[in-house]
Structure 1
Amino acid sequence: MEPAAKWQVSALNPHTLHLMERAEADSLIGQVLDGRYVVRSRIARGGMATVYAGHDTKLDRTVALKVMHANLAGDEDFVRRFVDEARHAAALSHPNVVAMYDQGTDQGRVFLVMEYVAGRTLRDLLTERGRLGPRAALQVLRPILAALGAAHRVGLVHRDVKPENVLLAADGQVKVTDFGLARAVTASRQTQTGMLIGTVAYLAPEQVLTGDADARTDVYAAGIMLFELLTGYQPYQAGTPLAVAYRHVNETVPAPSSVIPGLPPQLDALVAGATDRDPARRPPDAGRFDAVAGEVLQALPPDIDSTSASVVPVPLGPSQAADGTRASLSERVTQNFRVSPDAPSSGHDGTPNPHTMVISGFEGPPRTRWRRRRASGLFAACVVVALLFGGFVWFQTEGRTARVPQLVGLSEADARLRAEKLGLKVKAGSSRQDPRVPKDKVAQVEPGVGTQVRTGTLLTLVLSTGKPPVAVPDVRKQPLDQAEQLLRQAGLQPGRQVRQDSATVPRGDVITTRPAAGKKQNPEEPVTLVVSRGITMPDLSGLTPSQAARKLAALGLNAQWRQQAPDNGQQPNTVIGQDPPAGQPVNRGDAVQVTFTDQSQCQWDPFCSYGGDQNDGGG
């Protein structure tokens, strides 16, 4: 019953609500958040936040600023979980994931600072093109699966995979955004007008029934998205979010070839495997889904996109099941209504077809309107009865007592959600080191797992501080690969690399680490490596030989002099050439060949006494 409570209808006039939200959002333009981020222009507005293009004045770069809506920012429980989830998402480094730079609060506004991706969303592409060819669809899907796979490997679940959260950069790169945000909102139990936690079109059955989510729920959503990429349609259409959720639980996703005739059976199997209603029969994570998708892509004919482009889609019929045998309640209500094959209920923009009516997503001719209304009423009545009966059963079986669930290994937010589903409460108690349980995960619950308790009982969570801290080894002046190996041998993770100029450390060697050598570091947190770029060769042109000699000596470079007669109006006693050229990286001690015009007209410079090719050590 709980998922049904997540859809609410606003008491405000929609036009008034839109004007209020727009006024609030536009008021941010031109303001500076946290004394650093200038809000430039609004990019988009979603159910949780408004996204702006901004400028980071400290690092002089364009960023994306995601500012949470006021009703979420005013929820202390949400803000706490949101900060925790943002921190975990920031640790996810992958080329197909939108990088998260910073998080902060300014005058009650909670915001994220993320990588700015110039381009558009996958939803924009689908709106423009309708559908993609099989090869193009898999070529878009695989980077998405790679990003999700990287998250799944570190225990992070997206929970809201959909085309709106996939960005297509101008250079063709595919990036996934909004990692960790759906879980923060779910945990806060916030609801908003028109918003469902995890967009209903892509919700896995277990999310609808229990609210549980793991890597396989992301796989399900990716399978639904693949169906949409191939056909241009979402598999389940209905008049209300509840009706769509009902179909996810009770129906089987149709085969893409039932909409686009002639699609290879491998694509049907790929969608069917990812969207199986039983999570145990899906790929265990996005990495495995990606591997299978790669095999299917390789087996596709090279010209399949051009041949399938001319195929006319067959509109989805009522409850069109992949195996052709299932008949859910919504099917039985509408199975006697004929579907017009050339009049889909709506286009890609969701605009209803004026020649048809839509009842729970099924279409029919206007002359059957009275029968559709009666069928719709029967369907709604059945749903209400089912929900009431389910609530009665829940109260009799779980509403009075419950067993303490297995919470060890979960985050505090996930443990709270699982306990609250059983009518139990939780609080965070003391922390302790536990090498077997990752940092910030539950190491122990009191009363113990399996204990029978009354609903409303307060459980105490003991959170792990992770493995004991380890001293960072001294890897200064070590080649980068050797430094990373030394860190791993010490039980630490090499993190990101920061490049800096250095006149004393050769190019490619480590200048220092963050934290510095000898400092203690949690093994689960990466160590940043500051790596030398060497010396950037200066521009010597126009200098006198003595000026060039002093500049090179200051950088530890060895000058080798070459004399040449002035030509074409060149000034005597002036540097006219150098090797290596300006801007090229060099190391301390490298030789630099300097060519200068002869000294026949100079009277004061000490180089006037030199003749022919000279070698000056820089003195």
Structure 2
Amino acid sequence: MGDTTADSREGSQFGPYLLRRLIGRGGMGDVYEAEDTVRERTVALKLMSQTLSNDPVFRSRMQREARTAGRLQEPHVVPIHDFGEIEGQLYVDMRLIDGKDLAGMLSRYGPLSPPRAVAIVRQIGSALDAAHAAGVLHRDVKPENILVSGDDFAYLVDFGIASATADEKLTQIGTTVGTVKYMAPERFSDSDVTHRADIYALACVLYECLTGSPPYTGDQISVMGAHLHQAIPKPSAARPGIPAAFDGVIARGMAKDPADRYATCGDLSAAAYAALAEPDQDRATDILQRSQVARMPAAFASQQSAGIAQATPAHAPSSGPMWAPTPPGGPTPQPTGWGGAPTWGPSTAGVAPPWGQPPRPSRKPWLWVGVAATALVAIVGVALAVVRPWESAPRPEPT
């Protein structure tokens, strides 16, 4: 596969994979729906461009990051099955997601309703907080890298360009990777790049979900200058009907100084939830409940004992101390964690695993099989009675 060729490899064999359908193409490479003929399963297979495959620095970064991302126990992170190299070309084997990318949805249908926008950002924020706690920056958070299923379950994809933040050399090389429309100001300078660059990007995504366009538009040079120097736009001015409270959420999420931003993505999503009018808060919670109930078995499997131990009642929390934002310079972000029901408070404070150090392995999963089965039967029964997921929209064709 060349970097500029329009040819598809559909129908051809790549190692043990039969490439059935081209489902995505970008600067890094192509993504195919493929059949793993050895394990007899259908997967999403990302084939890196030959230029990247031949780059020893990228190769090291991708392999390290894929290894870390593959250990993330977070249901909104697309699971990585395998990665490696075949005949000189790097590849990543991932779960095939039945959904559409957020960029396509916004292009075709326009901006989302505020409750739906907040519910999707909440889920992506959970994935990012988990990655940050494991020492991984995504570096390319954008609508194209967010997949949304027919029941509004959101996934964050393409950790292939993220770098392990504990590796100074790889981090510096990786700072130029990303899409300019969503890049934090420090990405264009010699300043340190931390997890708050991802928080900035997520705030840009929230703005686009609410208004239908990114915060800054134009050519790359003008957009870079806007990120650095231009006033932060107000979503309420860009689209009539957006609550003015979102202006403050975007202003803090996109603050030019990283220290002035939210400390975690959970803090950002909590503030966005609080910006909704009360009826819309209920709608956002309903959307989140519906999406999670529809995917509950997979979520329980991925979370293992953590999902059971942290299960909480299925209702939106009332306002109060739990809505207080984490002060700048506060604790390292923690994974938000799927607890079986939506929670809107800021991420739990505590001590995160050292940056770049793999998380401590959880207890052996078979010890939790009995507990998981009991909890799953009880919770699914209650959730189905309350949420009625069968009333959600039909799922789109796989992409």
- Give the TM-score of the pair, scaled to structure 1: 0.45
Cα distance in 2 for residues equivalent to 1:91 and 1:74: 26
Q: Which residue number in structure 2 is paired with residue 257 of structure 1? A: 236
What whole-Å deviation, never above 9, does each CA across 1:340-380 have from its counterpart, x for those lacking one?
A: xxxxxxxxxxxxxxxxxxxxxxxxxxxxxxxxxxxxxxxxx
Letter in 1 for 2:237: S
Aligned with 1:160 (options 140, 145, 151)? 140
1:493 aligned to 2:361? yes
Aligned ranges for residues 39-78 of structure 1 at < 5 Å? 39-78=19-58
Aligned ranges for residues 278-293 of structure 1 at < 5 Å? 278-293=257-272
What whole-Å deviation, never above 9, does each CA across 1:96-155 have from its counterpart, x for those lacking one?
A: 111111001100010000010022100010011121121121122111111112212222
Letter in 2 for 1:494: S
CA contact (8 A) 2:163 2:174 kept: no
Aligned with 2:123 (options 120, 126, 143)? 143
CA contact (8 A) 1:42 1:50 kept: yes
Aligned ranges for residues 404-443 of structure 1 at < 5 Å? none
Aligned ranges for residues 17-36 of structure 1 at < 5 Å? 20-23=4-7, 26-27=8-9, 29-33=11-15, 36=16
CA contact (8 A) 1:167 1:177 kept: yes
Shift of 1:245: 0.4
Between the two structures, name the one with larger relative contact order (CA 8 Å, sep ≥ 6).
Answer: 2
Evaluate the alpha carbon distance shift between residue 301 and residue 177 of structure 1 in structure 2; reply closer, same or farther with a 3 A threshold.
Answer: closer
CA contact (8 A) 2:120 2:153 kept: no
Letter in 1 for 2:138: H
Evaluate the alpha carbon distance shift between residue 437 and residue 287 of structure 1 in structure 2; reply closer, same or farther with a 3 A threshold.
Answer: closer
Aligned with 1:181 (options 155, 161, 165)? 161
CA contact (8 A) 2:117 2:210 kept: yes
Aligned ranges for residues 352-431 of structure 1 at < 5 Å? none
SS in 2 for 1:508: helix
Shift of 1:190: 8.8
CA RMSD of aligned residues (A): 3.4
Shift of 1:289: 1.5
Q: Which residue number in structure 1 is paired with residue 370 of structure 2? A: 508
Q: Which residue number in structure 2 is paired with residue 3 of structure 1? A: none
CA contact (8 A) 1:38 1:56 kept: yes
Pair member with larger Rg? 1
Q: Which residue number in structure 2 is paired with residue 299 of structure 1? A: 278
Evaluate the alpha carbon distance shift between residue 93 and residue 303 of structure 1 in structure 2; reply closer, same or farther with a 3 A threshold.
Answer: closer
Cα distance in 1 for residues equivalent to 2:93 and 2:232: 37
Evaluate the alpha carbon distance shift between residue 437 and residue 291 of structure 1 in structure 2; reply closer, same or farther with a 3 A threshold.
Answer: closer
Shift of 1:296: 2.9
What whole-Å deviation, never above 9, does each CA across 1:53-94 have from its counterpart, x for those lacking one?
A: 011223322110001000010112221221111101111121
Cα distance in 1 for residues equivalent to 2:366 and 2:43: 19
Cα distance in 2 for residues equivalent to 1:165 and 1:437: 26
How many residue pairs were aligned? 302
Letter in 2 for 1:37: Y
Evaluate the alpha carbon distance shift between residue 259 and residue 48 of structure 1 in structure 2; reply closer, same or farther with a 3 A threshold.
Answer: same
Shift of 1:297: 3.9
Cα distance in 2 for residues equivalent to 1:507 and 1:92: 20
Cα distance in 2 for residues equivalent to 1:156 and 1:190: 12
CA contact (8 A) 1:276 1:282 kept: yes
Evaluate the alpha carbon distance shift between residue 104 and residue 222 of structure 1 in structure 2; reply closer, same or farther with a 3 A threshold.
Answer: same
Evaluate the alpha carbon distance shift between residue 177 and residue 253 of structure 1 in structure 2; reply closer, same or farther with a 3 A threshold.
Answer: same
Cα distance in 2 for residues equivalent to 1:94 and 1:507: 19
Q: Which residue number in structure 2 is paired with residue 228 of structure 1? A: 208
SS in 2 for 1:159: coil
Evaluate the alpha carbon distance shift between residue 84 and residue 507 of structure 1 in structure 2; reply closer, same or farther with a 3 A threshold.
Answer: closer
SS in 2 for 1:141: helix
1:241 aligned to 2:220? yes
CA contact (8 A) 1:102 1:113 kept: yes
Evaluate the alpha carbon distance shift between residue 279 and residue 190 of structure 1 in structure 2; reply closer, same or farther with a 3 A threshold.
Answer: closer
Shift of 1:186: 6.9
Cα distance in 2 for residues equivalent to 1:130 and 1:532: 41
Cα distance in 1 for residues equivalent to 2:115 and 2:27: 32
SS in 1 for 2:163: helix
CA contact (8 A) 2:100 2:147 kept: yes
Cα distance in 1 for residues equivalent to 2:270 and 2:282: 22
Shift of 1:259: 1.1
CA contact (8 A) 2:61 2:162 kept: no
Evaluate the alpha carbon distance shift between residue 39 and residue 279 of structure 1 in structure 2; reply closer, same or farther with a 3 A threshold.
Answer: same
1:272 aligned to 2:251? yes
Name stretches of at least 5 consecutive residues in structure 1 with no aligned partner.
Answer: 1-16, 306-435, 442-465, 468-491, 500-505, 510-530, 534-619
Aligned with 1:122 (options 95, 102, 122)? 102
Identity %: 35
Letter in 2 for 1:291: A
Cα distance in 2 for residues equivalent to 1:300 and 1:42: 42
Cα distance in 1 for residues equivalent to 2:39 and 2:366: 14
CA contact (8 A) 1:77 1:188 kept: no
What whole-Å deviation, never above 9, does each CA across 1:405-452 have from its counterpart, x for those lacking one?
A: xxxxxxxxxxxxxxxxxxxxxxxxxxxxxxx995966xxxxxxxxxxx
Cα distance in 2 for residues equivalent to 1:124 and 1:204: 23
Shift of 1:250: 0.4
Shift of 1:176: 0.4
Shift of 1:166: 0.1
Letter in 1 for 2:122: R
- Give the TM-score of the pair, scaled to structure 2: 0.68
CA contact (8 A) 1:78 1:187 kept: no
What whole-Å deviation, never above 9, does each CA across 1:183-205 have from its counterpart, x for those lacking one?
A: 389759599xxxx6210000101
Letter in 2 for 1:493: P
Q: Which residue number in structure 1 is paired with residue 87 of structure 2? A: 107
Cα distance in 2 for residues equivalent to 1:248 and 1:168: 27
Name stretches of at least 5 consecutive residues in structure 2 with no aligned partner.
Answer: 285-351, 375-399
SS in 1 for 2:5: helix
What whole-Å deviation, never above 9, does each CA across 1:551-598 have from its counterpart, x for those lacking one?
A: xxxxxxxxxxxxxxxxxxxxxxxxxxxxxxxxxxxxxxxxxxxxxxxx
Cα distance in 1 for residues equivalent to 2:21 and 2:89: 17
